[in-house]
Chains A and B, each alone.
Chain A
Amino acid sequence: MRDRHALLHRKITVFGSTYRLEETLWSYILLMPSILVFSVFTFMPVIYSAWLSLHRWNLMDPTTAFVGISNYISTLGSPDFRQAFWNTLYYSLGTIPAGTVLALVIAILLNQKIGGLSFYRTVYFLPVVTSMVAVSAVWMWIYHPTYGPLNSLLDVLGLAPQKWLRDPKLAMACIIAMSIWKGLGYNIVIFLAGLQNIPAHLYEAAQVDGAGKWDCFRYVTLPMLSPTVLFILIMAVIGSFQVFTQVHVMTQGGPLGSTTVLVYYLYQKAFQRLEMGYASATAYILFICIFCLTIAQLKLSRKRVHYL
Chain B
Amino acid sequence: MKELIAAFVLLSLFVGCVSQETSGSDEIVVAGGVLSISELSTACGHVEADGHSGIPLDCIVIQAGVDNPEDLSFTLVGSDGYQKTFNWEDMLQGVLTDDGLAVFPHLPKAFWVKDVVEVRYGGG
Decide whether A and B are members of one complex.
Answer: no
